[in-house]
Structure 1
């Protein structure tokens, strides 16, 4: 492994509406790909409700072993929007304070004082009441938006949950994260192989290849992904770019021993999104498996 540090990250999706099935979480999938592209090792994804103690304890636990914690959701004006208040309590030195910068941007972009008054305006400003102090940051990645990305101890970064907004904001935080974590030296590389062998049939082969790769780096991962009903499985060979010679060797062994064919990441994603919607005369197709 190179001298560059492996940066570890975790993602916390906040919202009862995710847990009760009202909305489908897409932010964690987007963040997973985001980490992959930047060479960040994503260690955990948590989905929790709008429950203060659970959020605080979860982030305290994650802060022990992760360099970066991204949270999405619960940053709005209503009582169940608890992110700013609770995440300040992960550390002992982080008060909440109404941000003049955020209020000024609010006024510039959507003029709340012309639309709201009294309690409604006060509630609107809950979204501008942010972590403050020496160990906090306040970024505005989008030039045409007042929405902030609040940071605490350069470790926890708080994003809204609306997918389009989250994606735009975090994409525009790439330069900051690259600088903070010196990410330029680490990149992932992945190969996909399609095979008709079932998981039981190829288990021993993949285990031997994983043991072989572990001698070089524990960050090299060999995984199998069943595509039920489509008649084949996919093997993933994943590691750092600096190990590409070994990754190619592992890929070629998988192709040879499992009668496989290499496919692109785009093909694998399309396959993963497929569903078998009707039965054949003999029932659903099954993957070849000698076990």
Structure 2
């Protein structure tokens, strides 16, 4: 067995289509043993395909934002392969609408599936790894979360989705710090690729080229995910990587900016010129997508 993930037990959520399906194929190519999750039957067919090609995969149909099911998914990996090494949180949905017309259901559904659907598997996987570490067993665990450019910069018409993806980015940073003591490395990606979710929104930019390199092929993203899920990523944690086609970059998040201070409380009437000066000394923020 060869590849950067040879022998590693890997859970991939949302593996039935799009990025998740591409990740499953790449992890199988890299020698991983897979537990593939999605809410539909397509994930069973994918597991069958991988097994027919000589890989190892089992399928599990369920909702990763359901607390008990997320624990069951982690247990399935441990029961099937004797351990869990890597968790790829990929499951997500979008319900795009301008904020002024967005419904409560559209907000709640996206936050539940995208954000809680990351936290629940992460929480149960981390508990498993913590117990191993406390027992003195070696742990080289990896978590790869899926944020988005919308979560890093915002996206008009996607307030619910962008809020969830921004939450995933900061959840990644916090988890990386809290879980480092247990041998757990946590990173995130913000991919740009053609998927069933993005095709409906960005049909023109996501179109397949007639010739040459297909920069929007979701398979372009998966090698980075496989590397982050391998033992080679031991020294990288708490980072968010943007990836589009053949370009990989580090996303640099919020930082403390230029400050103005005094030794007492500000008066409201004083703050106009102070804020004007701070804005003049600071870089303009990157524009929101669609602005």
Q: TM-score range by the shorter chain?
A: 0.3 to 0.5
Name which one, 1 or 2, has greater alpha-carbon Rg: 1
TM-score by length of 1: 0.35
- Of structures 1 and 2, the one with the larger relative CO (CA 8 A, separation 6+) is 2
TM-score, normalized by length of structure 2? 0.35
- Choose between structure 1 and 2: higher strand proportion: 1
